[in-house]
């Protein structure tokens, strides 16, 4: 391990649930010198658990002004990911940002441009690419080998979203900067149920389970099917939405189908939590708890095939050391390589989830041109590639 003097200086922005988890991982690999949260109590709680001097901020722009910070983690709600990440890269920092990276498809195009423009190292927090005993990497390798068949169907299944409301507007707590919390989102009265983990049940800040958990399995599905640099051509789906005022309003249950050139399909549905990949030659099932299926058993029974699978995993990980998702970020900061969950493939993964939401909201089949990254002949759908953003929190790139 590097000595404190050789370690880079890191800072964490958004230190609630997951943000404090990735912040602590980063603190184990670098010198954690600052943190920021619009809820000052969250920032103080995080800083108190760090050895040494971790300064606290409630405005991330002040933290980014510091020249001694080399890299940041971003664990805010989704509607802040792109703005903070772009500002951080332009301030010269490498970035590890949580998934789902974007709120809209246009934000994805913007952040890809800025990663290219600045040459910064950018890791997205889709840790299934690195962790869980490489089960997902093995599933990807098996699917990509052709062993399951040529035309594959991936069922990306995640839990339903929470329902609740109507909720009441109250006074924001004094430890919270509510204006900053809302950022680009439409201004509204404070409701405790919009904050502290629950942002993910509101379309204003998130795509619900479709993007929150959906992007984890859909990311692996696209990789497994060799579609991680493209997108579907047809998208259709049904979702149940609560349209009442002041209620959680993301799709509670959903079932969407995405068709790709070449005959592959990805189905994104609410139900259990697993990715099932099926072809005419076989079927495998993977989630964080296991990788199962006849092809998996056959490989495990053969030393030669087991070696083959381990080699394929190494190649998929581009021969980088596999030692955790945050470690991969730190390794890439040194080597300047593309991290394993790079911005370009993640943009495609989260775009697929956004497309599923748009098809459900419009309640019709959509035709998508994955090269142009636009709908074909559908101005209403095209208008949903971006959102109006509240000033001064607009994303400019
Ligand atoms: N990869 C993974 O396994 C996981 C990833 N995630 C991702 O992490 C992100 C955070 O989720 P989660 O931890 O559940 O949410 P939390 O609400 O627990 O944490 C978000 C924190 O960010 C704060 N915040 C909001 N806006 C800003 C801002 N502009 N600047 C600084 N801080 C801000 C929030 O304040 P307040 O508390 O007042 O809302 C809160 O403290 C999400 O994008 C989620 O998808 C989450 C879980 C696991
Ligand atoms: O992996 C995950 C675990 O669950 C969280 C929801 O509570 C998700 O946000 C997250 O991506």
CA distances for 280 relative to 16, 149, 264, 352, angstroms: 45, 5, 12, 24
Whether residue 201 has its Cβ less than 6 Å from ligand 2: no
pLDDT at 6: 85
Pick the more confident residue, 86 or 2.
Answer: 86
Whether residue 77 has its Cβ less than 6 Å from ligand 1: yes
DSSP 244-269: STTS--S-SSEEEEEE-TTS-EEEEE
Q: Is the pLDDT of residue 3 over 90?
A: no
pLDDT at 52: 78
Distance, CA 135 to ligand 1 centroid (Å)? 26
- Every domain of the chain and the residues it spans: 9-128, 132-318+343-383
Closest residue by CA, ligand 1 atom 48: 18
pLDDT over 90 percentage in the chain: 98
Read off the pLDDT of residues 326-370 as tens digits, 9 standing for 90 and up. Answer: 999 999 999 999 999 999 999 999 999 999 999 999 999 999 999
Q: Residue 280, Cβ neighbours under 10 Å: how many?
A: 11
Q: Is the pLDDT of residue 239 over 90?
A: yes
pLDDT over 70 percentage in the chain: 99
ipTM above 0.95, yes or no: yes
In this chain, the answer to whether the domains covering 9-128 and 132-318+343-383 adopt an identical fold is no
3-state DSSP call for residue 286? strand
Between strands 94-97 and 71-74, the pairing is parallel
pLDDT band at 1 (very low <50, low <70, confident <90, very high): low
Read off the pLDDT of residues 13-48 as tens digits, 9 standing for 90 and up. Answer: 999 999 999 999 999 999 999 999 999 999 999 999
Distance, CA 212 to ligand 2 centroid (Å)? 7
pLDDT at 53: 92
Distance, CA 197 to ligand 2 centroid (Å)? 10
Cβ atoms 211, 270 nearer than 8 A: no
Q: 9-128: CATH homologous superfamily?
A: NAD(P)-binding Rossmann-like Domain (3.40.50.720)
Name the CATH code of domain 132-318+343-383 (choices 3.30.160.70, 3.30.1370.30, 3.30.43.10, 3.30.360.10). Answer: 3.30.360.10
Instruction: Record the tokens describing residue 382, joined without a space.
Output: 């095209």
pLDDT band at 51 (very low <50, low <70, confident <90, very high): confident
Read off the pLDDT of residues 113-123 as tens digits, 9 standing for 90 and up. Answer: 999 999 999 99
Of 13, 74, 75, 83, the residue with max ligand 1 atoms within 8 A of its CB, to mutate for a pocket test, comes to: 75
In whole angstroms, give the CA distance from residue 255 to residue 270: 7
Whether residue 199 has its Cβ less than 6 Å from ligand 2: no
Distance, CA 251 to ligand 1 centroid (Å)? 20
Closest residue by CA, ligand 1 atom 35: 39
Which ligand has an atom closest to residue 158 CA? 2
Beta strands in 28-126 (DSSP E): 31-36, 55-57, 71-74, 94-97, 122-124
pLDDT band at 5 (very low <50, low <70, confident <90, very high): confident
Of 16, 18, 196, the residue with max ligand 2 atoms within 8 A of its CB, to mutate for a pocket test, comes to: 18
pLDDT at 135: 98
Burial of 392 (0-12, 13-18, 19+ CB in 10 A): exposed
Which ligand has an atom closest to residue 199 CA? 1
pLDDT at 367: 98
pLDDT at 4: 67
CA distances for 185 relative to 143, 202, 259, 386, angstroms: 39, 11, 32, 12
Whether residue 98 has its Cβ less than 6 Å from ligand 2: no
Instruction: Record the tokens describing residue 103, joined without a space.
Output: 């709120």
């Amino acid at each position: 391990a590097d000595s404190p003097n050789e370690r880079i200086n890191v800072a964490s922005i958004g230190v609630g649930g997951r943000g404090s988890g990735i912040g602590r991982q980063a603190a184990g690999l670098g010198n954690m010198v600052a943190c920021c949260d619009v809820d000052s109590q969250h920032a103080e709680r995080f800083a108190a658990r760090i050895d040494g001097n971790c300064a606290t901020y409630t405005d991330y722009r002040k933290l980014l002004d510091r020249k001694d910070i080399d890299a940041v983690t971003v664990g805010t709600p989704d509607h802040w990911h792109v703005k903070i990440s772009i500002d951080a890269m332009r301030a010269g920092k490498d970035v590890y940002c949580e998934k789902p990276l974007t709120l809209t498809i246009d934000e994805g195009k913007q952040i890809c441009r800025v990663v290219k423009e600045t040459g910064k190292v950018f890791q997205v927090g889709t840790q299934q690419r690195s962790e869980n005993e490489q089960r997902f990497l093995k599933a990807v390798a098996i699917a990509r080998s052709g062993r399951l068949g040529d035309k594959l169907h991936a069922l990306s299944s995640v839990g339903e979203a929470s329902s609740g409301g109507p909720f009441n507007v109250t006074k924001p707590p004094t430890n919270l900067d509510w204006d900053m919390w809302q950022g680009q989102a439409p201004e509204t009265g404070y409701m405790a149920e919009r904050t502290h983990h629950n942002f993910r049940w509101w379309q204003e800040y998130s795509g619900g389970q479709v993007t929150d958990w959906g992007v984890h399995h859909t990311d692996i599905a696209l990789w497994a099917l060799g579609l991680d640099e493209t997108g579907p051509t047809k998208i259709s789906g049904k979702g149940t939405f609560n349209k009442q005022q002041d209620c959680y309003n993301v799709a509670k249950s959903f079932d969407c189908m995405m068709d790709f050139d070449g005959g592959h399909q990805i189905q994104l549905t609410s139900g259990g939590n697993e990715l099932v990949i099926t072809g005419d030659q076989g079927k495998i099932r993977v989630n964080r708890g296991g990788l199962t299926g006849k092809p998996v058993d056959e490989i495990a029974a053969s030393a030669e095939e087991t070696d083959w699978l381990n080699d394929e995993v190494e190649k998929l990980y581009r021969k980088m050391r596999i030692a955790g998702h945050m470690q991969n970020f730190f390794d890439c900061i040194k080597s300047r390589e593309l991290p394993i969950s790079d911005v370009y493939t993640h943009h495609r993964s989260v775009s697929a989830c956004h497309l599923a939401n748009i098809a459900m909201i419009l309640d019709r089949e959509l035709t998508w041109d994955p090269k142009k990254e636009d709908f074909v002949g559908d101005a209403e759908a095209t208008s949903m590639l971006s959102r109006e953003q509240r000033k001064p929190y607009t994303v400019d790139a």
